[in-house]
Structure 1
Amino acid sequence: MLQLDDLHVKFQHFSIDLFQNDLINWFQQEKRSLPWRENRDPYRIWVSEIMLQQTKVDTVIPYFHRFMERFPTIQALAEADEQDVLKAWEGLGYYSRARNLQTAVREVAEIHAGKVPDDVEQLGKLKGVGPYTKGAILSIAYGIPQPAVDGNVMRVLSRILLITEDIAKPKARKIFEAAVGKMISKDDPSSFNQGMMELGALICTPKKPACMLCPVQEHCAAYQQGLQEELPIKSKGKKQKTIPYLSVIVENEQGEVLIEKRPEEGLLANLWQFPMVDASDVSLEQLAYWFQLEYGMKITLEETLQPVRHIFSHIIWELIVLRAKTKDDAAENGRFVALTDINDYPFPVPHQKILQQIHVQD
C-alpha cells in the first residue's frame, strides 16, 4: 500500500498552482446553480451535505427546499418534533442521517449558542459530522482549507495522481485526505473542494469519463497513460441478503388501518409501517394465528396485493402484501388510523408503496 511518506513522489512533476487555477476557474464558470450555493450559511451547507450522502443531487433539491421552508434555522430544527423531521425526510432514506442531524443541531443550539462551530475539533464532535462533512462545512462556509474527501473526490484523485489504492478500504482515505491537504487552495478552499466534487459529478464520472471536456486533463496521470477507465480500484462489498416478508393491511369496521412504530434503534428507527413478519418464520397459513398472538386481535385475510421489492444498501426486502379485515378496534401493538390522517405519519419507501396501493383501490 502507498504510504503517506511516499506521497511526495506523486507531486515531483505536478504543478499544484496550475492545477488549482485550472480547477477553480472551471468551477466558477461552469458550476451548477444549486439552492445551497445561494449563500455561505453553514446551516444550509450542513443540511445539504447530510442530504447528499448516498443520494443524487436531483433527488435532494426538492427535499432541501421543503426542509429549509419547514426548518429555516438551527433553532427551528432543534425545537422540532422528531416525527415532523422524519416526515420531512420521508423518501430520502438513510433516516439515521436526519436523527443525527437533529441531535447535533440541538447541541449547537444549546452549547454553541446556535452557531455552527468553525473549529475543526468542535465541529468533528457533533453527531453525524464525519471528516467529509466537517471539511465541506469548514471550507465552503468558513473558507478554512480543510480536505473534504468523498467517493467523487477519491475517484478524481485516483486518476489525477494515478493512485492505485483500493478506495473501499478505510486506510486508503488517509492517503486521499493527505493528497488534498497538499493540493487545496489556501486562498479559495471553498471553490477548490466544490470544484473537485463537481468534477467528479459531471466530468470524471465512474464510467466513461468525459476526458475531452476535462479542465484538468493535462494534469491527469491516468489519462496520459490511458488508464482512466481502470481507476479507481474498488473491491466489491458483500452480497446483499434478501429477506422475504409478509405485510398486512388490517382494516377495522370504521375503515381505519393498523400501523405500528418501528423500534427506536436500528434500520428505519421510529418510522411507521404496516404490520410485517419475516416469511421465513411465519408462513401464510400461520399468519392469522401469529397476528392474534402478536396483536391480540383476530383478522380475516381477504386478498393479495402487488408485491413490493425494496433494495437497501446491505439487504433487499421482498414483501408479500395482504389485506385483512378485523372486528376489533384496538391492538396490543400499533394503532388504528383513518386514511385521511395517515399522511401525517412518516413511512419508509417500501410502505409508502403499499400505501399507494390502498389509495388506488379506495
Structure 2
Amino acid sequence: MSRLDKDKIKESLTLSDINLILSDLGSSSPRQDSQGNPIYSTVCHHGNSSDHKHKLYYYPSSYNFHCYSNCASMDIYEVIIQAKEQQGYTFSFYESIKYVTELTHKSFTMNDSSKGKQSDKISDWNWLNRFKPKKKMTTQLPSFNENVLDVFLPYLNNWIGEGITPKTANLFNVRYYFKEEQIILPHYDINSRLIGIRSRNTDERADSGAKYIPTIVENTQYNHVLSHSLYGIHLTQEAVKSSRKCMLVEGEKSVLKGTEFYGEDNFTVAVCGSNISTVQRDLVLSLNVEEVFIAFDKFRGQKDMESDEKYEKALLEYQKKLVRLAHMFTAFVRVYILYDDYGVLNPKDSPLDQSKGALELLMMNKNEITTKEGMVT
C-alpha cells in the first residue's frame, strides 16, 4: 500500500492553500511584510481570534512559519496542532496531516515520482486513519522460563562509574554472573515475556571486542534475534505512548541511563546494534509515536596514522548512514538525529553516557531529517 508523505504534502501547498488553512483556523486576512511574505493572526496562542495580532509569518522558501510573539518556528502541522489546542481540541500529528489533506484535497505518497504529481483523489485514508504497522509480529520470538535468572546474583553496582544504581538495575532485572564475571541483561518483549539474555563481559574479553555475548547456562544458549525486538520496551512503552516520543539508542546501558535521568518518563529503547530493522521500525510506529530521536553512539576517534581526509570521509559515511536510518521513519513521523556538535561526548559515547545536561543540550540542538536528503536545523 502506498503511504502518505507528510513532507511532499507540505511542500505542495500553495499560498492559496496556506490562506485557506489559516482562514479555517480563524486567522483574519493576511498582511504582507516588505518581502511579500504573508503575515497571519497568531492563531497558535492567546485565546480568541479577536485577540490575535498579525505576528505569524509564513516563509514559502522554507515552508515554515515563525510566530514572533510567542511560539517561534513551526511548520503547518505544528500551527494546526497549536491552533486546535486553543480551540479546545487535541490534535495528533496524524490528524493534522489528515486536516491538511481533507482541506486542500492534496495527497502525495512515497511512490510519487514527481514532487508536483497530485493524486486525483484521496486514496490513503485507510493508512492514515488506522496506521498501526504490524502491531502483531508475523513471527513471535520464543520465550524462556524466568527461573534461569535465579542462577545469577543480584546486581551490585558492577558497572563502576557508569551511574547506574541498583534501583534502576533491579527494575530491569539486571543480574551478575559471578562465575563468568558478566553483567546479565534479560531481554523482554513488549508483552514482558523473557525472550533472551545477553551477557556483558567485564574482563579482558570486553577489551578484545567481545563486550556483549549471548548468555550460556548449563549448555543452553539464551540468545534471540536482536533485530526482532527492542530492549526496554516492556518498561518504557507507557512513556513512549503518553509522550508520543521514542528515542532509539544502540545499547542496553543507555536505556538504563535514561531511567536514571527521567524515571517513569524515560521513552528510550535500544536496538542492540548499529542498525534499525523494519521490524523494529514497525514496533516503534505501532505505539502511535509522533517524534523519533535517533541517538546512536558518537563516531569513533581518528585512528593512528589515519589521514584527516580518510577520517573525514569515514565520518561523512557514518552520518549518511544515520540519515538513511532516519528515512525509515520520515514519511510517518518527525525524525531527529542527535549529533555532538559541542564536544560534550567522547568518541563512541552514547548521547546518554555523560550526563543529563549533555543529553538535553543535544536534544535542544537536534537535527530534523525530512524525506529529502539532508537536514533541517
TM-score category by the smaller chain? under 0.3
* Structure number with higher relative contact order (C-alpha < 8 Å, ≥ 6 residues apart): 1
Q: TM-score, normalised by structure 2?
A: 0.23
Greater strand share, 1 or 2? 2
Q: TM-score, normalised by structure 1?
A: 0.24
